[in-house]
Amino acid sequence: MDKAAPALRWWRLLAAVLVAIASGSAWAGAQQYEVLSDAVHARMQQSVSDAEPTLSSFRSDADAESWLRAMSPRLASRMPDEDARREFLLATHYEAKRAGLDPQLVLGVIQVESNFRKYAISRAGARGFMQVMPFWVDLIGTPGQNLFHLRTSLRYGCTILRHYLDIEKGNLSRALARYNGSLGKGNGYAQKVIRTWTTYWSLRPSSPTAREERVGARERAAPRHSDRREGPMQFMGSPN
Active-site amino acid positions: 113
Q: Give the count of beta carbons closer than 10 Å to the beta carbon of residue 150.
A: 17
The answer to whether 159 touches 178, Cβ cutoff 8 Å, is no
Beta strands in 90-218 (DSSP E): none
- Coil, strand or helix at 124: coil
The answer to whether 49 touches 141, Cβ cutoff 8 Å, is yes
What does R_g of the chain's alpha carbons equal in angstroms? 19
Please list, in sequence order, all residues whose beta carbon lies within 8 angstroms of the beta carbon of residue 118, skipping any fewer than 6 positions away. Answer: 128, 129, 148, 150, 153
Q: Give the count of beta carbons closer than 10 Å to the beta carbon of residue 197.
A: 27
